[in-house]
Structure 1
Amino acid sequence: MQLVSGRPSAEECLARSAREVRCYDFLDRLAISYERVDHPAADTMEVCADIDRVLGATICKNLFLCNRQQTAFYLLMIPGGKVFHTKDLSHQLGIARLSFGSADKMAELLDVHPGSVSVLALMNDPDRRVRLLIDEDVRKGAFFGCHPCENTSSLRLSTDDLLHKILPALGHEPTFVTLPDAAAPQG
């Protein structure tokens, strides 16, 4: 694995999915600098550990969630090493119960498959049916890592660019949440 700046070459883009190329086009239109590492499919956080070291940023865990009625959908960005408990987030949002959204709903709303979802998939949600939730620990970091809607590449992006360029361009206003660290006592 090698860290490179920017998008793949035009020739390499021909072998990539349209959804991945749209991510590079989107970032380039916004004049956002980013680094990229290409790798075998990474669909678990354990596999992402080696990628994190090359990338120089922690790849965010991106969770596609929904309410019990499957009428409200959420994309949660949390640090890769943080353990997620639905009750912690449900309580903050005032929702009785959250669960993981289905792969079919993820494909319908974000045009991605499990293991490839990231904040960049929100460009496929012009109707803003998915609410973005960002853990405060992600906001505190200078950089974060994410997939460009395919889990065979990972990007290092500036958190400042996320908050001040990417999200405004996507039209998605984030809700910031505070989820406890695994070592923190649960209350």
Structure 2
Amino acid sequence: MAESESASEETRAAPRTPEQLLAHLDATGVAYDLHRHPPLFTVEDSKALRGELPGGHCKNLFLRDRKGKMWLLVTLEDRPIDLKQLGAAFGGARLSFGSADRLMTYLGVIPGAVSPFALINDTGREVNVVLDKEMLEFDPLNYHPLSNEMTIAVSPAGLQAFLADLGYAPEILDLGALAE
């Protein structure tokens, strides 16, 4: 690990809790519906236990390239993602999944709890955010709020307001076109 990376890790604040995230959403006026459930680790777990929860159901991929640049890709749960094609769309990056340690360091969550709401823990704004254009057509959108034992449903406008409040200007890609 690079020396500068070690120093920045030592100065990182403790990850926010789900309760702190929900308080942040309340304070900034982002409306949401909260649903509690057993822990969900995969899209398959979610499909099996969500029942009739309406809206767009999403997956979140924490990715990195060989130079250490990171992305959070937020897309519809059934969207096939080809990392080679995606890397080409990102300017030729050779992408792989970020490790559980890196995920905890930058987003403050464990695998299975990744969502755009984990960006509240990226205090250095080191993670690039990419949203699936088609996903934003669904209302509401469903994500974990820093815990895979809860799901919150938010509007696309609420999601984008949250990201803007944190200082993110996500790239919105037509990921369906990449899969064709």
2:85 pairs with 80, 84, 88, which one? 88
Percent sequence identity over matched residues?
Answer: 32
**TM-score (structure 2 length as normaliser):** 0.85
Distance 2:78 2:33 in 1: 21
Q: Which residue in 2 is equivalent to 1:168?
A: 164
- The number of aligned residues is 166
2:70 pairs with 70, 73, 80, which one? 73
Shift, 1:180, TM fit: 2.7
Q: Aligned in 2, Cα 1:41/1:83: closer, same or farther, shift over 3 Å?
A: same
Q: Give CA-to-partner distance per residue, 1:45-74, whole Å, 9 cap, x none.
A: 0111145443212331000000023x2000
Residue pair 1:37, 1:55 contacting (<8 A) in 2 also: no
Residue pair 2:132, 2:175 contacting (<8 A) in 1 also: yes
Secondary structure of 2:20's match?
helix
Q: Aligned in 2, Cα 1:75/1:18: closer, same or farther, shift over 3 Å?
A: closer
1:56 pairs with 41, 54, 57, which one? 54
Alignment of 1:32-181 (within 5 A): 32-69=30-67, 71-163=68-160, 165-180=161-176
Unmatched 5+ residue regions in structure 2?
A: 1-14
> Which residue identity does 1:76 align to in structure 2?
L
Secondary structure of 2:103's match?
helix
Unmatched 5+ residue regions in structure 1?
A: 1-16
> Could you list the runs of 4 or more consecutive aligned residues of structure 1 that deviate by over 3 angstroms after TM superposition?
50-54
Distance 2:92 2:140 in 1: 30
Distance 2:56 2:117 in 1: 16
> Which residue identity does 1:90 align to in structure 2?
G
> Which residue identity does 2:136 align to in structure 1?
R
Residue pair 2:113, 2:144 contacting (<8 A) in 1 also: yes
Q: Which residue in 1 is equivalent to 2:8?
A: none
Distance 1:143 1:113 in 2: 24
1:22 pairs with 17, 20, 34, which one? 20
**TM-score (structure 1 length as normaliser):** 0.82
Q: Give CA-to-partner distance per residue, 1:8-37, whole Å, 9 cap, x none.
A: xxxxxxxxx961111111111112221121
Secondary structure of 1:60's match?
strand
